[in-house]
Structures are given as structure tokens and as C-alpha cells.
Amino acid sequence: MTLLEAAAALRRREISSAELTAAALQRIERLNPSTNAMQTVMAESARERARRADEELARGEGRGPLHGIPIAVKDLFRTKGVRTTGGSKLFEDYVPDYDATVVEWLREGGAVLIGKTGMHELAYGITSSNPHFGAVRNPWDRDRIPGGSSGGSGAAVAAGMVSMAMGSDTGGSIRIPAAFCGVVGLKPTYGRVTRFGAMPLAFTLDHMGPLTRSVRDAAAVLNCIAGYDAGDETSSRRPVENYVPDVEPSIRGLRIGFPENFYFERLDPDVDAAVRAAFNAAASRGAEIVPLRVPDIAAINTVARVILLAEASALMEPHLERRDQFGADVLALLDQGRFLPATDYINAQRLRRAMQCEFARLWSHVDCLFTPTTPVTAPRIGETTVSVGSETEDVRLAATRLVRAINPLGLPAVSIPCGTDRRSLPIGLQIVGPPFAEALILRVAQALVPAEVPVPPL
Amino acid sequence: MSNHRNNDCNTVCNTVCNKDWKKIAHANGLAIPDAALEPIARTLDALAADFRPLARALPPETEPAIAFHAALHAASEDAE
């Protein structure tokens, strides 16, 4: 059941929040041992919130579509009185005394927070094979990674534990698990959703957004969490729209960019075929497919890596003498960042501005852009390289290759399921739009995906 | 970018890419064991090789954004 279907059933009194919450807790109890999607389960407080939600709904005090719906958040969103680890041993006993603004706004919308999802250590990686809290496993094949860093959120939603889990995205960390787990993942425009109270990885690249079982669910969540927050000086004062698209929206006449360079190089053939089929599906609904050359994405990826390495290492510098507290992959990245001179960081931010201007010119030719989300489907746990055609590529670089550049550009992007490969693993389509065009990319996404994503055999 | 400029970049790159990371770590007081330096040295060299030509091609008038905004035209709006 999607979030909006559950909300409709609650309004019709066909089901109660207490029943929804009990069902979610049962499913977590059954499936978490094999997926490790949920790091902390808040059963007692969730039951109490659900009871209160039912009372409010009975009094006619509905707070919106999230009221009474069980949800989860990645374990880097601070939760008052509930441990928040950021996937790190450093913070294994950290209990915040306040909620992240996103958590606060979700609670105000009536959502029932049922737990915190597992993640890659410090959100600094894409496998979610966490050395301190265990590997999160992909519900489609438990020998495979769910992607990351929001791997627990992707796995929890795919497994049907919750209909929505919040994630964060610094270089693809919402969109990669969405693609690998076959769910919808929305990275809004930088500034559209406040970062306040979420443990940072890289201040100028971090974005917060939902993973859901339908496009309309992601939009409904965005309606709740978008908006200005004084706690985050980069949050935008731009008015919040209604982002929820019609059930069957029109995309007739929309210009969809088909990148002739970069994005279709070095792809698994099944991914290539599925994404090309998405273009055909859009064309059959009246959209105009516009072939075009995109700016140098490899260069933007390089700039993004410099910014990420520098910002993440600056943040973690006070902890880096405690080397035994870090997993090997994260420690290697943090060490690399310490070698970057300040001039590189400044120049990366200058290049970012230049590239942002260059990319902005694209939007006079097209309304949005389709690309694959990842060049391959979910790799096996423990694999450090993947084969793409005749080439071998580092897993992390391959998984982030098509999504990373969107973070320094700050553009909104959504990953939606667009078929499966020869092993029945999900494939993701990335739809990228101009700044603050969330409503547009969600409308296009809704036109292309089924009302609810497929459920893995569990 | 012209060939002449590419050659310049390659020259610069060749000089900066062959850094002795061990000495740099010691000089900067970074407590990183030598064994941990070896695997990251190749990555750092490769990143420098990709990044230096981009940085050198920057026009001098390009400034970094003090606070990043996704939409340049939204920057003034956000500041209001």
C-alpha cells in the first residue's frame, strides 16, 4: 500500500494508525533480520504516537496526508531522546536533545516515526556495508548491496516495512539506493529542504529527500518538508508549491533532453535498453525528445570530489586521531581530504559556479533531462569493482558516475524504477530538472511509472 | 582549450602529480601511517591530474559563491 492509499484508508476509517503501525512493526520483525534495513526500532513511542493520531483523526483534527502514517528516517537525522549514530562508531551512544527540522515537520504533519534506518558509515559511501552496525542487504537479492549511503531507507521501503523513509544525498545517496532497490528517490533542489539537524557530510553538497513506493508519495512528503528554515541559512524563501501530480498527468509537448555524450557511455546493456525504452514511452505520451550535448560531466564530477573530500575531512578533523573508530574505506577518503590544499577547494568552488552557469543554458533547450541513474544494477556485497562491458571500474566511482555531478549543480532529480535486468534486479531512470522544478520532474515521473513500484519476492 | 595550453597543463601536472605524500604528511603533522598512504597516493595523483587542468583554465574573474545557491537568479530573492 502506498502512503497516499493508506492516508485515504485512514480518512475513510477503514484502518487505524494503530493497525498500520502494528503491521509495520510485524513486517520489520519478520524482515529486518535478513535485511538489516532498520538500525533502531522505536516500537513503544510509535504505538503511542499512533494512538494519539487515531484520537486526533477521530476528533476531525486531521493534519494532512502523513497523519497516522508509519515512517522511518535515516540514522543521521537527529531525533530527540533517540540515539543518532550517523552510522559511525564515534556516535554510537549519541542521544540528541532536539529533532532535526525535517523530523520536527514530519511529526507536525502527524507522521508516526517508527525507526531509524541503517546507512553507510558517516554517509560517506554507496555500499551501506557498515563495519560497526552490519551490512544492509538488498530485498531483491540479499547477497547484494542496497546502494547508499541511504541504503537502509531504500531497503526498508522496498521491503514494505514503511511507505516512506527519509534519506540524504551528497553524491547520489538517495538516488543510488532508489535505483538498486527499485523505489522512488527524490533529491530536491539545494535549499528546498532544510538540512538543519541532519549530521552533515559536506555542507555545500548535502541534500535531504524521501524514498517512497510511488511518485505521488514522494511529492506529498515534499509538500511537508519543503520551505524556509531559519536554522539553515542556505534554505530558500521561495514559496512552496503543491508538488503532487495528477494520477495521469499530461506530458504532451514537454521537451525531454537525450544526452548524446557521457550518460550512455559504459552502460550495462540492460540498463541502456531500459532507459532508451523510457524515452520511447515519454515520446508515445506526446513528449518531444531533444538530442543534445551536455557540459563536461566528468569535469563536474572531479570538482564535486574535491569539494566533498575537503569538506568531509574538515568536518571530521577533530576525530581523525582515533583511527580505530573508522572503517577502512571511510578512513581512506578522510585521509585523502587532508592532503588537498586550500587553493584546490577554493578553485573547485570557482569551477562549480562556472559549470553551474554553463549547465543553466541547457534549460533554454529542454524542460528536463533523462539519464540512467546508475550504469549497472546492484553489485554483490563485498565486490570492490564491477565489470561494465569489457572494462572494470571501482564500485564507488561506477555507482556515482551518473549522479554525482547533480549535487554541485544543486539541481532537483528523481530516480524512478524503469524495468529490471536479466537477473530481475531493478534499473533506475534519473530525471533532472532546472532549479526548483520539482513539480515538473515529479509530473514527468508520474507519467512513466506504475501507481506503486513492484514488490520483491520476500 | 588550445594545444599550447594543454601542453602547459601537462607540464604542470607532471610536476605536481609526482608528490611525495609521505613527506607531505610528515611535514604537515598528519598522523597517517605509511601503510595507509600507499593506497591513497594513486587516487590523489589521479585526482590531481584531472583537477589541475580545470583549475588552470579558470578565468581570473570567476569567483566562488560565498553561500551556494542552486539558482543564480534565486540568490537575490533568497537574500531578501
* Confidence at residue B77, expressed as pLDDT on a 0 to 100 scale: 46
Q: Is-catalytic flag, A168?
A: no
Is A324 touching B (CB cutoff 8 A)? no
User: Is A432 a domain residue?
Assistant: yes
**Structural domain of residue A180, as residue ranges?**
120-150+161-458
* Confidence at residue B18, expressed as pLDDT on a 0 to 100 scale: 64
Rounded (10°) CA dihedral A199, A203, A205, A207: 40
* Confidence at residue A457, expressed as pLDDT on a 0 to 100 scale: 87
Whether B70 sits inside 8 A of A353 (CB atoms) is: no
User: Is A82 a domain residue?
Assistant: no
* Confidence at residue B65, expressed as pLDDT on a 0 to 100 scale: 76
Cβ distance B22 to B34 under 8 Å?
A: yes
Cβ distance A103 to A73 under 8 Å?
A: yes
Min distance A335 CA to chain B CA atoms (Å): 7
* Ranges of chain A whose pLDDT falls below 70: none
* Ranges of chain B whose pLDDT falls below 70: 1-18, 66-67, 71-80
Whether A349 sits inside 8 A of B44 (CB atoms) is: no
> What 3-state class would DSSP assign to B21?
helix
**Which of A16, A150, A153, A173 is the catalytic position?**
A173
User: Is A329 a domain residue?
Assistant: yes
User: Is A30 a domain residue?
Assistant: no
Q: What chain A residue is nearest to B30 in terms of C-alpha separation?
A: A338
User: Is A70 a domain residue?
Assistant: no
Cβ distance A56 to A63 under 8 Å?
A: yes
Instruction: Find chain B residues with C-beta within 8 A of A344's C-beta.
Output: 51, 55
Instruction: Find chain B residues with C-beta within 8 A of A349's C-beta.
Output: 64-65, 68
pLDDT per residue as tens digits for the range A273-299: 999 999 999 999 999 999 999 999 999
User: Is A359 a domain residue?
Assistant: yes
Number of folded domains that form chain A: 1
Question: How many C-beta atoms surround the C-beta of residue A428 within 10 A?
Answer: 32
* Confidence at residue B7, expressed as pLDDT on a 0 to 100 scale: 41
Nearest to A83 by CA among A50, A128, A155, A132: A132
* Confidence at residue B17, expressed as pLDDT on a 0 to 100 scale: 52
* Confidence at residue A254, expressed as pLDDT on a 0 to 100 scale: 98
Output the domain CATH number for residue A428: 3.90.1300.10
Is B30 touching A (CB cutoff 8 A)? yes
Whether A344 sits inside 8 A of B50 (CB atoms) is: no
Min distance B1 CA to chain A CA atoms (Å): 13
User: Is A302 a domain residue?
Assistant: yes
Residues A169, A170, A172, CA angle at the centre, nearest 5°?
Answer: 60
